[in-house]
Chains A and B, each alone.
Chain A
């Protein structure tokens, strides 16, 4: 069985769904003839035709709006944002039109809006963003954010099959860095709304998602080796809805929680997770809930600046040591 990259796993998931269900189609900028800025949809137009793999104008609002209209009519559109930073151009469509459609009008809008997100790649302020917090606040949307090749595939397939609109965030730093052997002939579907235990431990829990799952794993190795600390890591995988059960289970097990995300701190998901732990597991805590996040600045370009702004493994190590001693 060959190893596949995160990107190839995502590609496989999209391909399988396009083959399985002819209601599935894709639309986005440069996705067809060229195969996408990162080649996620390379070869799709050749196989499935121009009608199902549509190169669009640079019009994110129209891409999402048209996807919504098609979804109302029973289609299963997958809209690509060339970089997820541009999803803000479709913010109105997603939050006002799409997210409210079922509630206000009984309209089913099963769309997937996917695209490359995240930093650590010297992309600067407009090719590195993590937009989850902007949409996390909107009832009616779902947000998934895989960190492994298996979940990249399993979550894209589950997102396409979901009855509700899903924002699928794919970290470009993981695209070709993460490899995994996936079983052939077995359908991989990752249920939306379920977190994953990325590492089992006893002393302290790290709750995280996306690229920082891997930063946390590095940190956990170092902490095990140098400090003898046993760190548990929960990979959320779905951000909306949050898997409260998995979060509370790890809190009750280790009694110390560090929340790590690549997004900036203020108004980031860590705040909501901390609030839920406070509401549901306050008496299980043996220390304050700690956060490691990006600094509250737009993401700068120069490697020295970007590395300083984003959370690194050593930041996680330091925070974990501080918390362990508390």
Chain B
């Protein structure tokens, strides 16, 4: 197994990073903590068989999800992003509520999709997120269409879409990226190099060293950043978002990171070198690194961070208590809503006997 080196882009000076004041730094930290705490709660619920299907962790990747999404304009009908299953943090940044995530994973009637879809596969276009489907790469063309619409209407809005290193092997990714590039869509693509696509290492997905090389092949402005450095990801995304908003077309940001858990919770990671996982956990955890930056640079007190941790846990506790015993959707609610008209699918005749 090749070893993957940890890029070092930690800031050397304690000056506040560009465009991030103390409240924003603390807010970034809050989203990181909320993401991790929520996922830890989901693990507990998974082990209690309360999560209906698989559970997908973003452990070790929270930094790039939160840092990138935080660069967008948020609010009703502002920027729009399309997350993957490991971008929980980005959805929280855009305004998704922990209770919605919990209900989704437990297939509750009151979940955003009323039990029709899994995990993070849900959307709220007003708040600015469009859930993925399982066919990887497909959201790139769809986000090309959303951002094409921004351009056609002259709206100063930007779209952001996440793709994993594995998904850059799909045709949809290439078609969508090229289409958006040709149309100069205001789209930022975050290419997540987390080294593993289910069990397949990146060297069996492609020969290039950096995903950015693929994007450059389409004439797209592309950079590679340390994905576990929250501030570096945020700074790069902010820059790309601003350029996209000014009509400079598609931008690609490759974030180097590492998937520290299996594809899903059932996966024992037997194919991943143990020392590789341990090294990334020990030396390069995005939350640990951010705490170190905040404290060592005097941007935050440890007690403030402890308060945030406590508040996050309370928020997740309350959300869990509020929904864990809610009912699943009634069976007959499976029929409506395939079309606007007719309103519901026909009931199987044998059920009427």
Contacts and interface: CB of A to CB of B under 8 A. Distances in A.
Contacts of B318: none
Contact of B176 (A62, A77, A164): A62
A69 B178 contact: no
Interface in B118-163: 121-123, 125, 130-131, 133-135, 138, 140-150, 152
A294 B107 CA distance: 46
Contacts of A163: 339-341
- Chain B interface residue number, banded: 35 or more
B178 A57 contact: yes
Contacts of B116: 103-105
B142 A68 contact: yes
A104 B121 contact: yes
Contact of A66 (B123, B135, B145, B345): B145
B340 A102 contact: yes
A59 interface: yes
B330 interface: no
Contact of B144 (A65, A77, A97, A103): A65
B172 A54 contact: no
Interface of A: 25, 51-52, 54, 56-57, 59, 61-75, 77, 92-93, 96-97, 100, 102-108, 139-140, 142, 162-164, 241, 279
A106 B117 CA distance: 11
B297 interface: no
A108 B340 contact: yes
B175 interface: yes
Interface string B171-183: 1100110110011
Contacts of B172: 61-62, 65, 92-93
Contacts of B175: 57, 59, 61-62, 65
Contacts of A52: 152
Contacts of A62: 141, 144, 172, 175-176, 178-179
26 contacts: A57-B175, A57-B182, A59-B179, A61-B138, A65-B142, A66-B141, A66-B144, A66-B176, A67-B145, A68-B142, A69-B145, A69-B149, A70-B145, A73-B125, A75-B152, A93-B138, A93-B141, A93-B172, A96-B135, A103-B337, A105-B117, A140-B338, A163-B340, A163-B341, A164-B341, A241-B342
A69 B183 CA distance: 14
B113 interface: yes
A72 B146 contact: yes
Given A61-B141, A96-B133, A97-B133, A102 B337 contact: yes
A56 B148 CA distance: 12
A64 B172 CA distance: 11
Nearest to B80: A73
Contacts of B178: 57, 59, 62
Contacts of B141: 59, 61-62, 64-66, 68-69, 93
A78 to B, nearest CB: 13
A74 B142 CA distance: 14
A33 to B, nearest CB: 14
B133 A100 contact: yes
Contacts of A104: 113, 116-117, 121
A299 to B, nearest CB: 25
A105 to B, nearest CB: 5
B344 to A, nearest CB: 11
A107 B123 contact: yes
A75 B149 contact: yes
Given A104-B117, A139-B338, A66 B138 contact: no
A164 B339 contact: yes
Given A66-B176, A75-B152, A92-B172, 5 more contacts: A59-B176, A62-B178, A69-B147, A70-B149, A107-B123
Contacts of A241: 342
A56 B183 CA distance: 9
A65 B173 CA distance: 11
A69 B133 contact: no
A61 B144 CA distance: 12
A24 to B, nearest CB: 12
Given A25-B152, A72-B125, A97-B133, A57 B142 contact: no
Interface in B89-127: 113, 116-117, 121-123, 125
B27 to A, nearest CB: 28
Given A57-B179, A105-B121, A106-B337, A69 B138 contact: no
Nearest to B145: A69
